[in-house]
Structure 1
Amino acid sequence: MAGERTGGRERGRGGVRGGADFVAVLPPEVSSRIFGDLDVESLCQASVACKGWHRVIEGNEGLWRHHCLSARAVCQREVDCDRGNGYSWKITLLRNYWKSKVKQEWLSGKYSNIPSQKSLPEKSMYPMDADTWGEILEAELER
């Protein structure tokens, strides 16, 4: 199992060790393109997988910008404020990702007909400011 030798390479939990890392052999733009196809959670996991991947992912604001602009579709005021305050795309995304997910669910009416607090899913709440709750209440009143 872990640590067993296979074909001259040591096989561990993460797969074949000693194999070529695609980030080390591919041009940076190709590696960025591959990472660009990941969702936010997978991108965060990949950034802590190894030092090489971390260096490429953390050094590429475009990877984070793409996802941050998706969150901005729901949390425009919050994202614009963070960017105006000088936060990087990554930090802006990390500050607004879950808020945008929860806010989108509320705005879409997912929780409009919930009979009690106990019926709410675990991730239905997130710290939001009064303006955000105002947007949600206006959407509810329009339904």
Structure 2
Amino acid sequence: MQETPKRNKQSLPSPGEPTLLPPDKKKRGALADFVALLPPEVSVQIFRALDIRSLCSAAMTCKRWQLAIDGNDWLWKSHCLTVRAVCQREIDGDRGSGYSWKITLLRNYWKSKVKQEWLSGKYSNIHSQNNLPEKSMYPMDADTWGEILEAELER
């Protein structure tokens, strides 16, 4: 069995090794924590490039990332406005009630997916409830079902 050489904590980094931190600060995971290293504006721009699922996953990575993501409502706004294209009434109602962009998004994300499928006619030719996928029956209010019914009647 081969022994791997132990590196001296004060040794110089190899040519391919990142040098963002002094050698004595390079601990497991420290290089991955760009939130601690970069200005907050830069971290927000990085997080802003993530899709909704990735943003939620990133928020669960560590406490620092969670605070950076959850503490910046602006990160959630663009995603929420995308959902608003399908759930305008719902989004506007939640925002009018004082919900943050994140909470508004979390309250309406799955509803928007299901509502979009219904409005696009995906379920127009379903002959029984047994033929509906499980998520197609996401709980929606009477106004939302009214919108779906109107779309069906127009087809």
TM range, smaller chain: 0.7 to 0.9
Candidates 13, 24, 30, aligned match of 1:19: 30
Q: What is the identity, as a one-letter code, of the residue corresponding to 1:88?
A: S
Equivalenced residues, count: 132
d(CA) in 2 for partners of 1:7, 1:107:
62
Question: Residue 29 of structure 1: CA displacement?
Answer: 1.7
- Greater strand content: 1
1:41 aligned to 2:33? no
Task: Tell me: CA distance 1:24–1:124, structure 2 relative to 1, closer, same or farther (3 Å).
Answer: same
Q: Which residue is equivalent to 1:98?
A: 110
Q: Which residue is equivalent to 1:89?
A: 101
d(CA) in 1 for partners of 2:143, 2:104:
18
Question: Residue 6 of structure 1: CA displacement?
Answer: 9.9
Task: Tell me: CA distance 1:6–1:37, structure 2 relative to 1, closer, same or farther (3 Å).
Answer: farther
**Unmatched runs of 5 consecutive residues or more in structure 2:** 8-26
TM-score normalised according to structure 1 size: 0.84
Q: Which residue is equivalent to 2:132?
A: 120
1:58 aligned to 2:70? yes
Candidates 126, 137, 143, aligned match of 1:131: 143
d(CA) in 2 for partners of 1:7, 1:104:
57
Deviations 1:22-72 (A, max 9, x none): 111122122111111211122111111101111110111111111111111
SS at match of 1:92: helix
Q: What is the identity, as a one-letter code, of the residue corresponding to 1:101?
A: K
CA-atom RMSD, angstroms?
2.0
Q: What is the identity, as a one-letter code, of the residue corresponding to 1:136?
A: I
Q: Which residue is equivalent to 2:119?
A: 107
d(CA) in 2 for partners of 1:128, 1:60:
29
Higher Cα radius of gyration: 2
Task: Tell me: CA distance 1:50–1:133, structure 2 relative to 1, closer, same or farther (3 Å).
Answer: same
Question: Residue 7 of structure 1: CA displacement?
Answer: 7.5
